[in-house]
Amino acid sequence: MTTIAEEVLLLAHEETEGKPLVGATQLDSALGGALLAELAVNGRIDLDGKKVTVRDATPLGDEELDATLARIAGEAKERKPDWWVYRLSSAKLRKRLLTGLAERGVLNEEHRKVLGIFPVARYPERDPRVEREIRERVQSVLDGADPDERVAVLIAVLHAAKIDRKAFPGVRKERVKEIVESEWVGQAVAKTIDSINAAIAVGAVAVVAAS
């Protein structure tokens, strides 16, 4: 099973060439937000838009999620969601997730040189079934099906990082807004979505300022 962060990563890359559809800052912030969102959906943290608090420190069995949960639990004081998105967002996180997907046979890892000089890594799909299943779940909701919590949060993260329009050309803004704001997802997840949207936006700005 893929995590929300891995699903964001797969949808944010072109399938054949493995090129990212958005800039590194947007993508890295989306991944940081996705980690928080998954912990919230699984009842490990509370994310009410003000502070991130740990509800249950029990590991989930995923290396990245468990490391993030332990890091939040070990922080001396409670922090805002955007603070955590900024701290979690990094090229190293993106690389670890991409490498993990490659090791599981979902992606290929290819090293090339741009203009024969600059080395770049590309991650074209090796097993298209994984992204196809994710895409079908998301597209079904975009077409009108009721979303479950994970799909609603995934769409919200994609939207916050402006990946939704790249990954799903022709997506209706009204439908995305309906999903993000709908009571279908419940009050707790709605708060998570609001916090993640704001945190990704603020976190992306902070990354740019720091660089």
Return d(Cα 199, Cα 160) in angstroms, integer: 9
CB 27 within 8 A of CB 151: no
Q: pTM, whole model, 2 decimals? A: 0.85
Sign of CA dihedral 162, 139, 95, 202: positive
Give the residue-averaged pLDDT of 82-106: 92
Q: How far apart are CA 122 and CA 19, in angstroms?
A: 6
Average pLDDT, the chain: 85
The residue among 174 and 112 whose pLDDT is bigger is: 174
Q: Above 50 in pLDDT, residue 161?
A: yes
Task: Give the 3-state secondary structure of residue 47.
Answer: strand
Q: Which domains does the chain have, with CATH numbers?
A: 4-205 (1.10.3630.10)
Give me the residues paired with residue 53 across strands. Answer: 46
* Residue pLDDT, tens place only, 31-50: 988 998 899 889 999 876 57
Nearest one of 11, 60, 63, 9 to 34, comparing CA atoms: 9
Distance CA 21, CA 147 (A): 24
C-alpha 5: how far from its chain's center?
4
Provide the pLDDT confidence category of residue 203 given band limits of 50, 70 and 90. Answer: low
Burial of 65 (0-12, 13-18, 19+ CB in 10 A): buried
**How large is the average pLDDT for residues 57-80?**
95
